[in-house]
Structure 1
Amino acid sequence: MIGAAAVLVLATACGQQQATPQAPAESPPASQELTKVPGRKPAEPPAQDQGGSVPAAQIDSGALPRGYPVEVSAGEGGTLTITGQEGGCSQASAEVGEQRGDRVTVTMVETKPADKNTMCTMDMRYPPITVRLDEPLGDRLLVLKYTQRTE
């Protein structure tokens, strides 16, 4: 009888501790939050500092290896951020080449160790690589080239 009473007390106590979880109130994403001040217009979300993606039609990526990512965004002051590709022991970088009125050339460089006996992992990484142009890309064609080097 005492054992049955103990089980009943424990079951009741456990049942009281279980509360129905309430879903947290969802707030709008930070980019959609606007500050309201009586008598004033709502504050505008801050402007993005980056220019945005360069359209695929403005990129000549024919010299890149098959499967190489082609993602480029233009930023302030003539910067371009290009997705590189590296893996194992290799390191990705980029070099700005010719900058003419109608086109800009950037060479994507993959540098590998000279020692072929170096143990390397078998992973792929896609780091963002930023280069600075003399002038913003604007409507110019971006020609992406590729080269491998050993260190």
Structure 2
Amino acid sequence: MHKSASRAPSIGRDDLIGAWSLVEWQILDPCDDRVHYPFGNDAIGLLCYTPDGMMNASIARSTREALPAGSPRNANQAAQAEAFSTYFNYAGRFEMRGTSVLHHVQLALNPAMVGTVQLREAVLEDQILQLKGVESIGTERQRTHILTWRKQAQ
């Protein structure tokens, strides 16, 4: 997604409503000056925003091992850990503030995210939505997550 020298186009709440497919999830880490792809460069995902102000984000590695037959709760700890480490999800309310979207997390795969507010700078160009967020690691390090989504046809 390119940026012009002028302001980014404005984005409103209604622009987000609908379903979005993940194009790419990058993490930029200034410590090693590389681009990281947490679930590979072919990760899959679905982001949904509803008219009543709810959202849900799910992302997974495109090639995940199936859990053994039967209940996933009966899978061994290694299989459960692998399933956890190749999937990401949270859901809750959302709101717009200027060009930022705030996700108020009510439910998440990672319980530590519940009750947090995930701030994402949003840029919309045609049917491509880019959400950018900063992750603090300790007190002296930050990484930037850039998630690019494509609007699904209705």
Report TM bin, short chain: under 0.3
TM-score (structure 1 length as normaliser): 0.27
Question: Which structure's residues are more often strand, by fraction?
Answer: 2
TM-score (structure 2 length as normaliser): 0.27
Question: Which structure's residues are more often helix, by fraction?
Answer: 1
Structure whose CA Rg is larger? 1
